[in-house]
Amino acid sequence: MEEDSVDPADIARFVAVYDPDSAAAPPAPAADGDFDRAGFQAALDAMEGRIVSKMEDVIAAREARIMEAIAGRAVAPAFAPARAPAAAPAAAPAAAPTAAPAAAPAPVAHRRAPAKTTRAPVPVNSELEYVPAEDSWTAIPGIRCTSGVSCEQSCQEAFNRVRRSATGVRYVMFDFNPKFSWIYPSREGASTDDFEADWEEFVAQLPDAKACYAVYNFAYSDEGGGGYSQAGADVEKNKTILFAWSCNKAKVKAKMVSASSASAIKQVCRGTMDCAIHDKADMAYEYMCKRLDC
């Protein structure tokens, strides 16, 4: 600073501001007016050393705080907030009077068949009047299947007789002709109020060692009318099922043609539920109700 022609008084003020801890002030000028350059330089060096030492202490302190923060050390708060007084525990509410246990609801039975009634066997019509002679059969247009089997037009009439309850027909069976080139309606059974007896009759009519199809108006009684507006009353329900019967004892050719021709009869009996059956021993009425979700 002295080399830059700074006034000695300004230098003294600088030392007083930036080095207040200095024990000695810079030397005063000599009596003859000459400046004590060596003494003043020594004072500046001492002041610089003290300033550098203080800056090093400040930097070291800051670095220590940064390292503590990185290490996750908690800094103790300057003061701890006073705790609020603990609230008095609330009084326990009085126990409500124990209500009498409600009576268990009576179980609702589903898939219940009406009680059997004694009746005379219903004859099976094995010669349907609406089925023409084989030499005049006509195929239903647009029916296609992989086996090439055709459906005779009377198949449509047979299906309509089953799905319309007013006709009084419970089921119709569809057979193959001896050459396995046609599907035609072969027999039908009448419907009664005894759903289980109707089913047993149908099972008895299924041919042994053969394959065929049958469309059946599967009726059952839902006790209590679940899901209906007249809840509490027995409700008669029904599902139209297309059964594919292939007896385990049937010949291989019959089984193969029946499987490959199923798409043809399905195109005639649209809107039915499909079900394959193979053994009369597994066709009890209650079991079929569960299998058909009735």
Task: Specify whether domain 134-291 bears CATH 3.40.20.10.
Answer: yes
pLDDT at 84 over 80: no
- Mean pLDDT for the chain overall: 78
Task: Give the other-Cβ count within 10 Å of 188's Cβ.
Answer: 22
pLDDT tier, 104 (very low <50, low <70, confident <90, very high otherwise): low
- The mean pLDDT of 126-148, rounded to a whole number, is 89
Q: Is 280 helix (H, G, I), strand (E, B) or coil?
A: helix
Least reliable range by pLDDT among 22-26, 138-142, 154-158, 272-276: 22-26
Least reliable range by pLDDT among 60-69, 94-103, 117-126, 180-189: 117-126
**Predicted pLDDT of residue 9:** 74
**Predicted pLDDT of residue 34:** 59
Q: For residue range 131-141, what is the model confidence (pLDDT) as tens digits?
A: 999 999 999 99
- The mean pLDDT of 206-214, rounded to a whole number, is 94
pLDDT at 257 over 60: yes
Q: For residue range 172-209, what is the model confidence (pLDDT) as tens digits?
A: 999 999 999 999 999 999 999 999 999 999 999 999 98
- The mean pLDDT of 150-179, rounded to a whole number, is 95
**Predicted pLDDT of residue 115:** 46
**Predicted pLDDT of residue 177:** 95
Q: Which of 45-49, 74-78, 83-87, 146-150 has the highest mean pLDDT?
A: 146-150
**Predicted pLDDT of residue 93:** 59
**Predicted pLDDT of residue 74:** 47
**Domain-by-domain residue ranges, the chain?**
8-28+35-71, 134-291
- The mean pLDDT of 149-171, rounded to a whole number, is 95
Report CA torsion sign: 246, 249, 254, 255: positive
